[in-house]
A and B are shown apart, each in its own frame.
Chain A
Amino acid sequence: MKKIVVILLLLISYVGLKAQVKLLTLNELEQRVAKGKDTTYVINFWATWCGPCVEELPYFEKLNAENSKLPIKVLLISMDFKSKIKEAVVPFVAKNQIRSEVFVASASNQQAFIDGVDKKWSGALPATLFINTQKKIKEFYEKEFSYTELATHIKRISNQ
């Protein structure tokens, strides 16, 4: 009986977590951001296989948690292979108990996706986009962030 309960719990958590990782096209991302009005989106492009990305993820998580009452939203967009969602991304999100919204990029044309995010992006990871439609703010960085840097950026953008 105990075993069944454990299995059931595992199944429930698996299904629940699975639902957290959705595919996202560039078009869907643009629509999401446009609908956000006064929201500042902090969009981090990462991958489970990218060491520096994994290192900075907790800072994005902290930023999301500490600003939950403000119009600030962290979106974590994984550039992992789509075939690795079940095998790599879902278990990673579960293991690290990631609370921010996680997506896997769905791009039939990767170059169009990269250029669509920002022309300055070479394709290297990690990369982060700060975007606020109402304030017409769009800042792109192909680099790693510390928590202090993230907090400073958000403070500056919110006050603009």
Chain B
Amino acid sequence: MKRLVILCITIMGFITVKAQDKGYQLGDLAADFKLKNVNEKMVSLTDYKDAKGYIVVFTCNTCPVSRAYEDRVEGLHKMFAAKGYPVVAINTNDPIVSPGDSFDQMQERAKSKKFTFAYLEDPNHVYTKKYGANKTPHVFVLQKTAKGNEVAYIGAIDNDQEMENPVRDNYVQNAVNQLLKGEKPTVGFTKAIGCSIKWKKAAGK
């Protein structure tokens, strides 16, 4: 009997781990965090008292795709922070594997690009893994509900990385606008090319 219980617990543990590996799906409740911002202050989602939701952007300093989107991320913050959807950016990369993503370099980038949104480090990729960000940039739009912060959109910022089309689908913008109107985003999940996460190397390697 005892063995059976242990086996059951092991299996359950395995299933939970598996589910976590995949990260969040639409409708899941996203975890809050307490991570260091480029201004040295710790930031949590609960700090934004008037927020109706959040635009969580997993990104980095070094990826050309992320860099191509920096101004657009700043634009989203300017457009939506006052309306209750601030941008919270999280750097996904290990600073040893990717020195350009060290905390100093993040501070430097935030300063030179005049970011007005929070740009947080994520030591040991805890929240990158929990959310299931698998590339940069990778956006999770969260909606504050009575149950918690519900994942309402996962994917790309828009469908025009190089800004070459006069008409582009501004996925995040559309999703947040719909949420502000009390609607469910029509497009909840999108895909785009991004940079792989620069994961910390296992000790001894």
Q: Which residues of A contact B (CB under 8 A)?
A: 47, 49-52, 79, 81-83, 108-111, 114-115, 121-126
Contact = CB atoms under 8 A, between A and B. Distances in A.
A40 to B, nearest CB: 25
Contacts of A126: 196
B162 A79 contact: no
Contacts of A115: 191
Contact of A82 (B63, B64, B162, B192): B162
Nearest to B64: A49
Contact of A123 (B63, B64, B165, B194): B194
A52 B159 CA distance: 25
Contacts of B161: 81, 110
A50 B196 contact: yes
Q: Which 8 A-B pairs have the closest CB atoms?
A: A124-B135, A123-B191, A49-B64, A79-B193, A114-B191, A111-B191, A123-B193, A124-B196
Interface in B176-205: 190-196, 198
Contacts of B193: 47, 79, 110, 114, 123, 125
What is the predominant secondary structure among interface residues of chain B facing chain A? Answer: loop
B25 interface: no
Nearest to A144: B196
B191 A81 contact: no
B116 interface: no
A124 B156 CA distance: 12
Given A49-B195, A50-B196, A122-B134, A111 B162 contact: no
B178 to A, nearest CB: 19
Given A111-B190, A111-B191, A125-B194, 16 more contacts: A51-B198, A81-B68, A81-B161, A82-B162, A83-B164, A110-B161, A110-B191, A110-B193, A111-B192, A114-B191, A122-B135, A123-B156, A123-B193, A123-B194, A124-B135, A124-B195
